[in-house]
Amino acid sequence: MSASIYNGSRKDINGRPHIYYDGYWIRYYAPPEETLAAKRDLLLSLTRRTFHHTEPGINTPGQKTEAARASYEAEQDPARKRVNAAMLAGALFNRATDIFTSIVDLERQGIEVHQDNELMRECSECFSEALELGKQVRHPSGHEGIDELWGEPFNVFTHTIASYYASRYIKISQTMKAIDDIAARIETVFERMPSFSGVGRIVREFARAARVESEMMKSDPDFFLNWPEFVPLKEQLKAFPPAPPAGISALARVQLQRGCRLLSDGTDLISYMAGVRVPMPKSKRVFIEHLNDFDLDSQGVGLSIDSD
């Protein structure tokens, strides 16, 4: 992208408003009016989204916070304590949202609640503790990166809605870059393997659809156009049938099966990134390391044409 384009620049692309951040034009959505009611609605939406993208069993009701805390503090086994931490984080998350909803209800009745009010302080403390414990929360797949998603409601509570929207665009641009990096490496490795001829085109199309998926709100009417494209491309990659060469050795056949698993794993990782809208750097690094090992091994058994 041109260095003369500044972050925050806006223009229409195909009749849709876009905003520029760090090399990408991202679908732009105007932030709602800065009111407590608007913040509440955004918090409720982010609450649903966050629990949708986290491991099951941690959407603990806010009124169960003390029970969740007691179980967390009593647990000694590290693996179980991590789960208890995630359950307590969920309870604190919901409790903070419940408190903020009550504050909005009071405002609607003409009762002004100031920032130094006890309710506001407790809400802030719940979000802060949930954010810290959120480091223990996992994606349903086991991948990392959910602590960034977990922090979004806290950002909404502590910053303006407009500031949250700006931070969202930065995170989306980072996610798009991670998607492109993974897709480019998959294409490079598999396209020099005759057995996977043609997969590169599908990878490119899937990466494009994934970038759109990462930027688009589900309330956008265009979601009904992109999602039906995104899903079949994902299915094609996960079921891509390699063509074994004539006289293939047993070792090379095992390597082809390994390639199919890696292609499926990479497709899933891109899909996860697009869904949570975070770059998941650790998962990206580990996957590319596995892909590089596979590339070398494929050359060793004669499946790959070394073009470097």
37 contacts: CB under 8 Å, gap ≥ 6: 104, 107, 108
The backbone torsions φ and ψ at residue 17, rounded to the nearest 5 degrees and listed phi first, read: -70, 135
Burial readout 47-61 (b: 16 or more C-beta within 10 A, e: otherwise): bebbbebbbeebbbe
Residue 178's pLDDT is what?
Answer: 98
- Report the C-alpha gap between 21 and 8 in whole angstroms: 6
Residue 139's pLDDT is what?
Answer: 85
Length reported for the chain? 308
Residue whose pair of structure tokens reads 């490119």 in the numeric block: 204
Q: What is the DSSP letter of 13?
A: E
Q: How many CA atoms lie within 13 A of 177 on its CB side?
A: 14
Residue 161's pLDDT is what?
Answer: 94
* pTM score: 0.88
pLDDT, one tens digit for every residue, the chain (308 residues): 456 899 999 999 999 999 999 999 999 999 999 988 999 999 999 888 889 888 999 999 999 999 999 999 999 999 999 999 999 999 999 999 999 999 999 988 888 878 788 988 999 999 999 989 988 888 888 776 577 788 888 888 888 999 999 999 999 999 999 999 999 999 999 999 999 999 999 999 999 999 999 999 989 999 999 999 999 999 999 999 999 988 889 999 999 999 999 999 999 999 999 999 999 999 999 999 999 999 999 998 888 776 55
What's the count of helices (H) and strands (E) in the chain, helices before strands? 11, 3
Tell me the two tokens of residue 246.
């004539």
Secondary structure class of 44 (helix, strand, coil)? helix
- Report the C-alpha gap between 30 and 162 in whole angstroms: 8
Residue whose pair of structure tokens reads 């809605």 in the numeric block: 161
Residue 2's pLDDT is what?
Answer: 52
Q: Domain coordinates of the chain in residue numbers?
A: 36-158, 173-300
Residue 12, strand partner residues = 17
303 contacts: CB under 8 Å, gap ≥ 6: 193, 194, 195, 245, 252, 255, 256, 259
